[in-house]
A and B are shown apart, each in its own frame.
Chain A
């Protein structure tokens, strides 16, 4: 790990101010992904700002009938929260599908959103990766791309976002709240947090330098059933190959794009009376593949109707 200086943030305002003023600084909360990447020297911040003790861990009802989840609430606490379990079960299911008990106890809501891809070329510093080293190329394009994107990829990057939690947030129409160094508070759709890779896959979110996620806000749950389904190589503690979150008529797909993928074509088809198989076929008509990830297209085509049936309470 390369040397860095370390600061215990005394307030949210002080944290974003430091982040804006000190070059190559990063926030750290749980640290489960960032420290892993720092040990591999894929991440090498000069300064860490510990925001983990900031009073942003609360989970409270909103006046609109939704739920506001502080950015420092741990994954475990969110998954176990009575309101989340009863009104947003897709979020509990998504969170407990990710990581291990130890990781979920440390990982935070904000940090989960900011975690980075598990693409093997991103992790292997002897291989080209435009995300890790802009301009070096993409090893995955013609390489080990079994877990690469089938939606929204570019010739520069076909990596996927690894979060399970974020897929449920996308289906629930969650919003992200942030504080920027200027003191501005922003609120925007969780699906607008992450970018598609385009020519600059190293820039992963729409956050400005120093901007800190302070909360995730859930609107009242949509009418209808909810479920999260994840397919992976082993039964537990493994990244997904494909996942889907259903919340009412909303469908979000995981492990298929550089960001949580709202299947808007499928949603529109469902809303107009198409079968779930027809609806997901409409979405997949624009899927691409690089060879080894071709199976994801069939996998999603089979997974989504099963999940929709489960959310609707049907026999499967």
Chain B
């Protein structure tokens, strides 16, 4: 089925079996293998990408549902030559061991920081009418959809903390 998706700023015309998930279209069809497949059931967050600026699990969405959407993957966040601040922060804070969950952690963190900037509440938000203050409890709760098997959580929190409050 014909589907056009703007991926990292570039319009890509696809013709895919309707069963193809957005994740598989990115990895197998467009060869953007930075986005990882972990559980393939929305439980681990490794496949997190930004769709029109919002973070989602790309494994739980069909490519054909994204005709006309703009998708940002880790390849669109920064490059080896020019790391995004959050990528540098993950290096500086040693926020990974094996690195498999890292692209999803970074895309999720970017989406999460925008949600905080938009004052979206979480279950840690006590005053629903106030301005969100990104405490560590808030940060951890908002990142709970991203699992790190190496358990680098303290460093991941530190890396996100390092870029929070300024443009990532």
What total of chain A residues lie within 8 Å of the partner, measured CB to CB?
Answer: 36
The interface centre, meaning the residue of B62, B108, B119 with most chain A CB atoms within 10 A of its CB, is B62
Instruction: Note all chain B residues with C-beta closer than 8 A to A48.
Output: 18, 62
Nearest CB in chain B: distance from A236 CB, A: 4
B164 at the interface (CB under 8 A from A): no
Q: Which of B45, B65, B146 contacts A28 (CB 8 A)?
A: B65
Q: Which of B19, B48, B121, B144 contacts A80 (CB 8 A)?
A: B121
B106 at the interface (CB under 8 A from A): no
Instruction: Note all chain A residues with C-beta closer than 8 A to B40.
Output: 39
Q: Which of A92-100, A186-194, A261-269, A270-278 contacts B (4 or more CB under 8 A)?
A: A92-100
The interface centre, meaning the residue of B17, B143, B144 with most chain A CB atoms within 10 A of its CB, is B144
Q: Which of A30-38, A202-210, A217-225, A244-252 contacts B (4 or more CB under 8 A)?
A: A30-38
The interface centre, meaning the residue of B40, B42, B55, B143 with most chain A CB atoms within 10 A of its CB, is B42
Known contacts A32-B42, A39-B41, A89-B128; is-contact A103 B61 (Cβ 8 Å) = no
A65 at the interface (CB under 8 A from B): no
In the complex formed, the residue of A with least CB distance to B128 is A85
Main secondary structure of the interface of B (DSSP, over half): loop
Instruction: Note all chain B residues with C-beta closer than 8 A to A92.
Output: 121, 128
Q: A3-43: contact bitstring with B at CB < 8 Å (1 yes, 0 no)?
A: 11110100000000000000000001011100110010000
Nearest CB in chain B: distance from A92 CB, A: 6
B145 at the interface (CB under 8 A from A): yes
Instruction: Note all chain A residues with C-beta closer than 8 A to B143.
Output: 101
A62 at the interface (CB under 8 A from B): no
A109 at the interface (CB under 8 A from B): no
Do B61 and A31 touch across chains, with their CB atoms under 8 A apart? Answer: yes
Residues in chain A within 8 A of chain B (CB atoms): 1, 3-6, 8, 28, 30-32, 35-36, 39, 48, 50, 52, 76, 79-80, 85-86, 89, 92-93, 96-97, 99-103, 105-106, 235-237
Residues in chain B within 8 A of chain A (CB atoms): 1, 17-19, 21, 40-42, 45, 48, 54-57, 60-62, 64-65, 67, 108, 111-112, 115, 118-123, 125, 128-129, 140-146
A sample of 12 cross-chain residue pairs with beta-carbon separation below 8 angstroms, ordered by A number, consists of A6-B18, A32-B57, A35-B60, A35-B62, A86-B128, A96-B123, A97-B123, A100-B42, A101-B122, A103-B60, A235-B141, A236-B144
